[in-house]
Amino acid sequence: MNAGEARSRLFGLLGECFTYPDAEFVAAVADGSLAALLATLCDAIDPRLRAGLDLAPLADPALQLEALAVEYTRLFDAGARGTGCPLNGGLQVGPQMKVMEEAVRFYNHFGLTLAEDRKELPDHLTTELEFLHFLGAGQQALAARGEPVLAYELAQRDFIARHPGRWVPVMRGKLAALQPLPFFLALTDLLARLLAHELARLQAAHGEASLKVSGDLPFGGA
């Protein structure tokens, strides 16, 4: 597995980790298979990626579905008093409508539209990570055919800088204040590290991402 393939798979896997948990997911945590896969993907990208991170909570044989589901709801799902730590970028850095509109422009540029019955909004973390997974997979397919990949790399750079790379650190601070199960904090720490690593890599190759608010695609189009 090359670094590009691992990068795409890791974004996709982390997106799945931030969905509402089910029995299959909890089983993967309990038997250690989730943590093992995360470690394998991280090391394929850069062995330094998980250095210093405490990922032990991601392999917890005592974890129970009910406890994880209750905690997910407490932390991330909106209730009568609002969401303790929203998984929507627009609720972290706002204004939400503008954040969503720009995210949709990215998606539409690559021919993607959100399904009408989709629960999550365009600025939801799972949607944004799915998009980064899509960009990584698309880049790999182009590279395999010997075609230029610059537009995909610029899109990844600017999308990370303007969306999850900007608001996930804010979310992490709110999450820590809620004293969550160590599982969710470890997961968020890994995601924040991955986003920072990828943004640094892409900016080293292509220059700084522009954060200027604009109605145009920030990466100039393909």
CATH code at position 138: 1.10.3480.10
**What is the total count of domains within the chain?**
1
Residues 78 and 121: their CA atoms lie apart, in Å, by 13
Half-sphere exposure of 89 (CA within 13 A, CB side): 27
The answer as to whether 123 is a domain residue is yes
The answer as to whether 218 is a domain residue is no
Buried-state track 106-145, b at ≥16 Cβ within 10 A, e below 16? bbeeeeeeeeeeeebbbbbbbbbbbbbbbbbbbbbeeeee
pLDDT attached to residue 78: 62
Residues 37 and 56: their CA atoms lie apart, in Å, by 13
The answer as to whether 219 is a domain residue is no
The answer as to whether 216 is a domain residue is no
The answer as to whether 113 is a domain residue is yes
| Residue 13 domain boundaries | 3-206
CA 67 to chain CA centroid, Å, is 23
The answer as to whether 149 is a domain residue is yes
The answer as to whether 220 is a domain residue is no
Residues 101 and 221: their CA atoms lie apart, in Å, by 16
Residues of the chain below pLDDT 50: 80, 214-215, 218-222
DSSP string of 141-161? HHHHTT---HHHHHHHHHHHH
The answer as to whether 124 is a domain residue is yes
Half-sphere exposure of 82 (CA within 13 A, CB side): 6
pLDDT attached to residue 221: 40
> Which residues, 6 or more positions from 83, have their beta carbon under 8 angstroms from its beta carbon?
76, 77, 91
The tokens of 118 are what? Answer: 């989709």
pLDDT attached to residue 119: 76
Residue at token pair 């399904």: 115
The tokens of 67 are what? Answer: 């406890």
